[in-house]
C-alpha cells in the first residue's frame, strides 16, 4: 500500500504521519487489493482540513473533514471513508435480481 501524505500551511511531524499511515492501514483490510491513498492536510486560520482519497482497481473513494485539530479532522475523514467502503462492499455482496429465501416464505 502506498500512502502519500502532504501538508499545506502546516508542518507534519513524524507522529502525525505515523498516525495517518496506521489508520489508513486499518482501512486497507476492507479493500480487496492494496489501495493507493493520498492524504492532504490543510491549515487555515482557525480550522484544519483533512482530505483523504483512496484509489482501488476500479473505484475511487474520497472524503473531507474539518475540525479545530488536525488529528480530529483526519479521524472524521477516515470514518466517512470507512462508511463509503463498507457500503460499497455490502452492495457488491448482495445478489442481483434474486429474492432471498426468507422473503419468499
pLDDT per residue as tens digits for the range 53-82: 998 888 899 999 999 999 999 999 999 999
pLDDT digits (tens, 9 = 90+) for 5-21: 999 998 899 998 999 89
32 lies in some domain: yes
Q: Find the domain containing 32 and state its range.
A: 2-93
Task: Please state the domain count of the chain.
Answer: 1
104 lies in some domain: no
Q: What is the mean pLDDT of the chain?
A: 86
CATH number for the domain harbouring residue 70: 3.30.160.100
98 lies in some domain: no
Distances (CA, A) of 75 to 39, 43, 57, 58: 12, 16, 24, 25
Q: Which three cell numbers stand for residue 103?
A: 422473503
C-alpha distance across the termini of the chain, in Å: 45
101 lies in some domain: no
103 lies in some domain: no
pTM of the model as a whole: 0.80
27 lies in some domain: yes
Distances (CA, A) of 1 to 21, 22, 26: 10, 11, 11
**Which pLDDT score is estimated for 53?**
93
Q: Which three cell numbers stand for residue 85?
A: 467502503
Amino acid at each position: 500500500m502506498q500512502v502519500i501524505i502532504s501538508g499545506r500551511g502546516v508542518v507534519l511531524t513524524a507522529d502525525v504521519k505515523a498516525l495517518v499511515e496506521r489508520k489508513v492501514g486499518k482501512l486497507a483490510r476492507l479493500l480487496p487489493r492494496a489501495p493507493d491513498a493520498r492524504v492532504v492536510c490543510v491549515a487555515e486560520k482557525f480550522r484544519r482540513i483533512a482530505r483523504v482519497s483512496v484509489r482501488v482497481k476500479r473505484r475511487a473513494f474520497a472524503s473531507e473533514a474539518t475540525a479545530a485539530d488536525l488529528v480530529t479532522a483526519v479521524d472524521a475523514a477516515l470514518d466517512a471513508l470507512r462508511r463509503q467502503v463498507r457500503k460499497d462492499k455490502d452492495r457488491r455482496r448482495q445478489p442481483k435480481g434474486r429474492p432471498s429465501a426468507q422473503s419468499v416464505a
